[in-house]
Structure 1
Amino acid sequence: MAFLGARARCSAAAAAKVAQRRRLAEDARGPPSPPGSQRAVLYVHWPYCEKRCSYCNFNKYIPRGVDEAAVRRCLVTEAQTLLRLSGVRRVESVFFGGGTPSLASPHTVAAVLEAVAQATHLPADSEVTLEANPTSAPGSRLAAFKAAGVNRLSVGLQSLDDTELQLLGRTHSASDALQTLAEARRLFPGRVSVDLMLGLPAQQVGPWLGQLRELLRHCDDHVSLYQLSLERGTALFTQVQQGTLPAPDPELAAEMYQEGRAVLREAGFRQYEVSNFARNGALSTHNWTYWQCGQYLGVGPGAHGRFVPQGAGSHTREARIQTLEPDNWMKEVMLFGHGTRKRVPLGELELLEEVLAMGLRTDVGITHQHWQQFEPPLTLWDVFGTSREVKMLLEQGLLLLDHRGLRCSWEGLAVLDSLLLDLLSQLQDTWWQRTPSPGPGG
């Protein structure tokens, strides 16, 4: 059929079943899931787009036609299979990403949520996020996604400058973006996130800050700031390489980031992660699970997951990658129930490296209690308490190590990548020495 054909409407019966199952759930929320927990979050990848943006190297495809019913069946089957293999009993959140999942029919979203609710416990207040592009999400379609079970939107706005949007290969205008944002806020008040990019070729600090301030007049309670990354194989990368576009200025991008985060802080936003800002408690609980190294299942072509297969023991978490190409992925799902192409067992040190690298992206950092959930043979004090390099970072005011745990300061979050080199090296060195020493709180 033509690309998703006419607007498909969600199945009222399916959506009602999802809502009914979720209303019956208890409201209790627990801490992030440790390695062998029966809790997890679910990521669902919709791989199709109307066109490829000039900066994008994600796993996405521009098809002539999509058999959405077949894709839907495979998404449902793979979700059921991975939930069974993982032994997960409770799904805390579901995130539909892509690609452009707002091109899928609301019926596909409802079918996946129904399958999850049948296979495991999906609490009534679980966060269900859908990524949406302004041109594929008019108000009537957003309302249908809400009826299907979506309760949070992530809008790919990217810029409020039409020239920049054309440079990025976006299909919407700034006016389209603001109109979609207004519709989204009407339907999902307090639960709409917007993305804004910085560090584009020839972009200047003043005009970009003007965009951010304009956005603050229209946005909800969650903003993500992303610096452009020139990826090999993209149109922008080629244009910069050939000299038809100037290379982005990293110093200007750093200034935009610093000024932008200050503007957001003044507007009442908490920078709870390197790129993410929320006010009124509107942080993404799904993404928070990633940064806390909780378990997550990846469903769909090219999706990634991290979970402990049932019966594998409490310490053998696996990294899983699903087959990239949609047609091959569907063939494997129909044959085997899932399209996992690669499974990599994660050792104790690899897991702790993830806990360190992901946890320090947040303003909370890594508490002693959280670190101990992963049952390391060394405490945070053992690893970092006597390090000369860490002591220097503490004295510079970039890092904090105290009774709460290890975390970056406001200044440290802005230079996290450079801090991680020393911290990961310290973890690795101490791990191989394995000589725990007593320390405060150790």
Structure 2
Amino acid sequence: MAAVRRWPRKLAVLAAALPGAGSQGRAAAPGPAVLPAPGPTEEPAPEPVPGTAAPATAALYVHWPYCRKRCSYCNFNTYVVRALDEAAVRACLVREAQTLLRLSQVHSVTSVFFGGGTPSLAGPGTVAAVLEAVAGAAHLAAAAEVTLEANPSSASISRLAGFRAAGVNRLSIGVQSLDDSELRMLGREHTAAEARQAVEAARGLFPGRTSMDLLFGLPGQSRDAWAQRLEAALGLCDDHISLYQLTLERGTALAAQVRGGALPEPPQDLLADMYETARNVLVATGFRHYEVSNFARKGALSTHNLSYWRADEYIGVGPAMCPVNAVVPLPAAAGAHGRFVLRGEGGCSREARVQTLEPVTWMREVQSHGHGTRSRVVLNPLEQLEELLTLGLRTDEGITHECWGHFSPQFSLQDVFGEPGEARALQQSGWLVLDSGGLRCTWAGLAVLDSLLPDLLWQLQRALGAARCPPRDKEGQDARAVSGHDGQ
């Protein structure tokens, strides 16, 4: 492997910013994803007119940027405010959702995800208003997955019941740890007892559709302590678990403590052992490891997150959520961002869109222009395939021939990765598989995905050639970038 090749930062940030992202390996590929069957109240979307293109579909992400306090490890775009005009925020979320759905001419919204921040601090009325606006602008099936992220400190039974009445049917709870000392180190508001109460309440209201987030690799955390936390979590929630290795982000309080010597930095070997321990334990107890950081039982996969990893279209509403300390501009990488075609303006190319970060500025732009898109970049074919490769290999199903062909009708997976080169060497070494199902990692390869991607991206770039690169202006800037408010 060519160790000097780097995974492009814009792709690394994109992968890390999406819900469900992680920094280590993935699972084997037992077969295609099995999604929950639609409920009995499912309303079928109207059939396309024969001879016309299939109606556009997209997932919708809604970002709520507010928190009661900033956790010691968080460097995302969150805000702690003393007083909040929720009615004004609600009106802007509704208007931006309507505007972007109109611009994209999306026919059907496949899923909605309320992330943050702490979306459980929003009132159920705000959630209901956004969902009503979405249903008014596009088809939103009665059984479409609607997820809300919640912190245990704002997840009382009455509040969760309010969200269910508003239309939420799946809950993702930011437990992070079931140990009080670890929670204090992380700067979390809740206790372990409150976390257990929140999960139990959620499982009663959202049976089979409750997910828990857990962090591992905390400063001073041993492998045995992590195994105990995982065992406790399994006794609490057996639907869906998301595991994230703690990243010590520059500018955070926790990173400063580690850098100053007040807390120990976990060794890389220990982090790898913790991750491998979790994979083995969860799979042995019946979980499907369907994505780098995500494990599900009984078909409880997140259909919304799968839309990212399968490179479906998605629309981001609300202030951007990208890291506030990002060291490079992120016009095509992270945030309350989107990947969709501007059909309402006659567009036919997939765009990367990022919303304005600061909530007050974002609200002002929404009130003036209908949306707060800060930047738009038309993705060229190579960039779209790079994103598909980077995100698709995170899943146990990998990249199917059908999905690849949607983005690359001229060059098949076999054309690009079946020829002599890096991919074939990875296959011969037992890291990668290319067969009738598509391209995916083996169980061993999933654990080292980040180290495989540079070689695969290099082979992709070489196969498609430099002719696919975007035009540059006289200063060498990307000539495809356009103002976020041109033509709405």
TM-score (norm 1): 0.90
Q: Which residue of 1 aligns with 2:315?
A: 297
Distance 1:323 1:403 in 2: 43
1:140-155 paired onto structure 2 within 5 Å: 140-155=158-173
Match of 1:173 in 2: 191
The question of whether the paired residues in 1 share the 8 Å contact of 2:430 and 2:445 is answered with yes
Distance of 2:280 and 2:47 partners within structure 1 = 32
Distance in structure 1 (CA, Å) of the matches to 2:68 and 2:133: 27
Query: Could you say which residue in structure 1 is the equivalent of 2:300?
Result: 282
| Residue pair 1:387, 1:426 contacting (<8 A) in 2 also | no
Separation (CA, whole Å) in 1 of partners of 2:43 and 2:424? 47
- 1:336 and 2:369 are equivalent in the alignment: yes
CA 1:37–1:294 in structure 2 vs 1: closer, same or farther (change >3 Å)?
farther
Which residue type is aligned with residue 122 of structure 1?
L
Q: How many residues align?
A: 409
Which amino acid in structure 1 is aligned with residue 384 of structure 2?
L
Please say if 1:383 is aligned against 2:416: yes
Contact 1:36–1:313 under 8 Å retained in 2: no
Structure with the larger RCO, 1 or 2 (CA within 8 Å, 6+ apart): 2
Which amino acid counterpart does residue 397 of structure 1 have in structure 2? G
In structure 2, the residue matched to 1:397 is 430
Deviations 1:405-440 (A, max 9, x none): 100011111110001011000000111079xxxxxx
- C-alpha contact (below 8 Å) 2:55/2:107 kept by paired residues: no
Please state how far the C-alpha of 1:313 moved relative to its aligned partner: 6.3
What CA deviation, in whole Å up to 9, does each residue of 1:229-248 have, x standing for no partner?
Answer: 11111111111121211112
Letter in 1 for 2:274: M
Q: Aligned runs of 1:187-336 on 2, under 5 Å?
A: 187-302=205-320, 303-310=336-343, 315-336=348-369
Q: Where do 5+ consecutive residues of structure 2 fail to align?
A: 1-39, 321-335, 468-488
Structure 2 residue corresponding to 1:429, chosen from 438, 441, 462: 462
CA contact (8 A) 2:173 2:213 kept: yes
Q: Secondary structure of the equivalent of 2:343?
A: coil
Q: Which moved more, 1:130-139 or 1:377-386?
A: 377-386
Which stretch of structure 1 is more off in the superposition, 99-108 or 401-410? 401-410
- Map 1:6-17 onto structure 2 (within 5 A): none
Q: Is the 8 A contact 1:36 1:315 kept in 2?
A: no
Measure the CA separation in 2 of the matches of 1:375 and 1:432. 14
CA deviation map 1:258-296 (0-9, x unaligned): 010100001100000010000100000000000001011
- For residues 172 and 146 of structure 1, the distance between their equivalents in structure 2, rounded to whole angstroms, comes to 22
**2:436, 2:46 → 1: CA distance?**
28
**Structure 1 counterpart SS, 2:142:** coil
Q: How far off is 1:396 after superposition?
A: 2.0
| 148-157 vs 35-44, greater mean Cα deviation | 35-44
Residues in 2 aligned to 1:155 and 1:115: alpha-carbon distance in whole angstroms: 25
Over residues 3-31 of structure 1, what are the superposed CA-to-partner deviations in whole Å (9 max), with x where a residue is unaligned?
Answer: xxxxxxxxxxxxxxxxxxx957227999x
Question: Which residue number corresponds to residue 349 of structure 1?
Answer: 382
Identity %: 62
Cα displacement (A) at 1:392: 2.2
Contact 1:189 1:220 in 2 (8 A): no
Tell whether 2:85 aligns with 1:52: no
The equivalent residue for 1:440 is: none
2:393 aligned with 1:360: yes
Q: Which runs of 5+ in 1 are unaligned?
A: 1-21, 435-442
Aligned to 2:453: 420
Partner AA of 1:74 in structure 2: C
Q: Which moved more, 1:260-269 or 1:233-242?
A: 233-242
Correspondent of 1:80 among 98, 118, 124: 98
User: In 1, distance between residues paired with 2:47 and 2:290?
Assistant: 19
Q: Report if aligned partners of 1:201, 1:249 keep a CA contact under 8 Å in 2.
A: no
Alpha carbons 1:36, 1:314 under 8 Å: kept: no
CA deviation profile, 1:284-324 (whole Å, cap 9, x unmatched):
00000000010111000111111110156675111111111
Tell me how far apart the structure 2 counterparts of residues 175 and 429 of structure 1 sit (CA, whole Å). Answer: 54
Give the 3-state SS of the residue equivalent to 1:212 in structure 2. helix
TM superposition score normalised by structure 2: 0.81
Q: Name the amino acid aligned to 1:93.
A: S
In 2 relative to 1, CA 189–279 (structure 1 residues): closer, same or farther, beyond 3 Å?
Answer: same
TM-superposed CA distance for 1:387, in Å, is 2.9
Question: What is the CA–CA distance in structure 2 between the aligned matches of 1:59 and 1:36, rounded to whole Å?
Answer: 36
**In the TM superposition, what is the alpha-carbon distance from 1:375 to its structure 2 partner?**
3.4
Evaluate the alpha carbon distance shift between residue 44 and residue 223 of structure 1 in structure 2; reply closer, same or farther with a 3 A threshold.
same
Tell me if the contact between 2:385 and 2:408 (Cα under 8 Å) persists in the aligned partners: no
Q: Write out aligned runs for 1:49-198 (5 A).
A: 49-198=67-216
User: 2:421·2:459 contact (CA, 8 Å) conserved in 1?
Assistant: no
Provide the rounded CA distance (Å) in 1 between the counterparts of 2:41 and 2:61.
22
Q: Structure 1 residues 233, 71: CA separation in 2 closer, same or farther (over 3 Å shift)?
A: same
Kindly provide the CA deviation profile for residues 201-240 of structure 1, in whole angstroms up to 9, marking residues without a partner as x: 1111111111101111110310011001111111111111
Secondary structure class of the residue paired with 2:277: helix
Query: Which amino acid counterpart does residue 369 of structure 1 have in structure 2?
Result: E
- Mapped to 2, the partners of 1:390 and 1:267 lie a distance apart of 33
- Counterpart CA distance in 1 for 2:46 and 2:301 is 18
Secondary structure at the residue paired with 1:341? strand
**Aligned partner of 1:327: which letter?**
V
> Helix, strand or coil for the counterpart of 1:277?
strand
In 1, the alpha carbon distance for the partners of 2:47 and 2:266 equals 43
Cα shift readout 1:94-131 (whole Å, capped 9, x = no counterpart) = 00000000000000000000000111100011000000
* Alignment correspondent of 1:40: 58
Q: Is the 8 A contact 2:44 2:141 kept in 1?
A: yes
Specify the code of the residue in structure 2 equivalent to 1:170: R
- SS of the aligned residue for 1:126 comes to strand
Distance 1:91 1:80 in 2: 12
What SS does the aligned partner of 2:174 have? strand
Q: Which letter does structure 1 place at the counterpart of 2:439?
A: L
- One-letter amino acid of the counterpart of residue 414, structure 1: A
Q: Assess if the C-alpha contact under 8 Å between 1:185 and 1:220 holds in 2.
A: no
Please, what is the CA RMSD of the aligned residues? 1.9
